[in-house]
Amino acid sequence: MITWRRAVFTGLIFVALGIVYGLLTAGAGRPEMAGATMLAVLGVAIGVTFALVLRGSGEL
């Protein structure tokens, strides 16, 4: 069964990927902050939306 905590964890994975991606590209000398920001914002959006849907719906 999928819980809202697992939904938040799924969003945190994308936030962590965005941070790692930003650090890796900054270490290579060519920072790609747009991609890192988009991954982090995507993670927040997925986590919040999925958690709200699961907490608001009793059938899921």
Token output for 41: 């914002």
Q: What is the pTM of this model?
A: 0.77
Residue 46 is predicted with a pLDDT of: 92
Helix (H, G, I), strand (E, B) or coil at 32: coil
Structure confidence at residue 38 as a pLDDT band (50, 70, 90): very high
CA distance 59 to 47: 19
Distance CA 47, CA 30 (A): 29
Of the two residues 2 and 58, the one the predictor is more confident about is: 2
- Residue 52: which residues within 8 A CB-CB, separation 6 or more? none
Tell me which amino acid residue 51 is.
A
CB 54 within 8 A of CB 11: no
Q: How confident is the model at residue 58 (pLDDT cuts 50, 70, 90)?
A: low
